[in-house]
């Protein structure tokens, strides 16, 4: 097996020091095992996308000597390496999940979802989608109000706990447990995938063998494992790194700490 690892920053502003942190360990792991280090740009969040941020990511990582083997500017056998250039890649897998009963259309408006969350908070209920749209046709759902003409697609998280991979092996932490996930949106109304679908599809198609990422993604891992299983793909190995933190143990934020911005050090 040839080791293949990646980092996948989002071009939404000044590069975060965490991108360099994860790049360092991914690059070191790839070099130690004679593998490949891939840079992928996750630019599906078009509301936060900043065009010049991509070049800043390239420049900052190269300034630190954290060069990659495959990426948007270098090409490679598994390109393109920008998610916005891979939109046609994701749709067949969405259709497969819908056909297999693992996903469903949701026509709820943002206003209806906001009201639902407020009511859950008022009742001190766990947050999560209430499945108003599940099992309904477009016409049936339209009669209920709070309806949008442009649906999203959600994962259908199994009700049976035995079908949920809430415990999984981690190369750093051993056996890890995570909470039950919500019915995650995997395809947005604009046709772009969310992170959760795109990261699984891209990691599989790019042959990623080891996912080395921050511990903030532990709670999302059950969703990703479900997608691997539903699509009939082999799961990669996971290693969740501790977060970089401020001296007071709080998470480093670009809004509060200038040292969180890689360009601050240049």
Closest residue by Cα to residue 133 from 118, 152, 117: 152
With contact defined as beta carbons under 8 Å apart, do 73 and 58 qualify?
yes
Residues with catalytic function: 254
Write out the two tokens for 99.
């056909």
Report the DSSP pairing between strands 237-241 and 210-214.
Answer: parallel
CA–CA–CA angle 55, 57, 62 (5° rounding): 100
């Amino acid at each position: 097996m040839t080791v293949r690892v990646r980092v996948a920053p989002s071009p939404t502003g000044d590069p975060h020091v965490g991108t360099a942190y994860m790049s360092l360990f991914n690059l070191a792991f790839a070099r130690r095992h004679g593998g490949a280090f891939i840079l992928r740009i996750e630019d599906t969040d078009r509301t936060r996308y900043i065009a010049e941020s991509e070049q800043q990511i390239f420049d900052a990582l190269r300034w630190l000597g954290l060069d990659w083997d495959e990426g948007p500017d270098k090409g490679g056998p598994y390109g393109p390496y920008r998610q916005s250039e891979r939109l046609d890649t994701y749709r067949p897998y969405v259709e497969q999940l819908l056909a297999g009963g693992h996903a469903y259309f949701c026509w709820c408006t943002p206003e209806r979802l906001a009201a639902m969350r407020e009511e859950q908070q008022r009742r001190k209920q766990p947050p999560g989608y209430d499945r108003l749209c599940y099992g309904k046709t477009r016409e049936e759902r339209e009669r209920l109000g709070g309806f949008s003409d442009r649906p999203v697609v959600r994962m259908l998280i199994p009700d049976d706990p035995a079908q949920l991979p809430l415990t999984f092996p981690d190369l750093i932490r051993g056996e890890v447990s995570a909470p039950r996930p919500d019915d995650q949106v995997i395809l947005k109304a604009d046709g772009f995938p969310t992170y959760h679908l795109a990261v699984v599809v891209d990691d599989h198609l790019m042959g990623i063998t080891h996912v080395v990422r921050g511990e903030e993604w532990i709670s999302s891992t059950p969703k990703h494992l479900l997608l691997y299983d539903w699509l009939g793909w082999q799961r990669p190995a996971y290693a969740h790194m501790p977060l970089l933190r401020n001296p007071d143990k709080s998470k480093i934020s670009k809004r509060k700490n200038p040292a969180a911005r890689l360009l601050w050090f240049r």
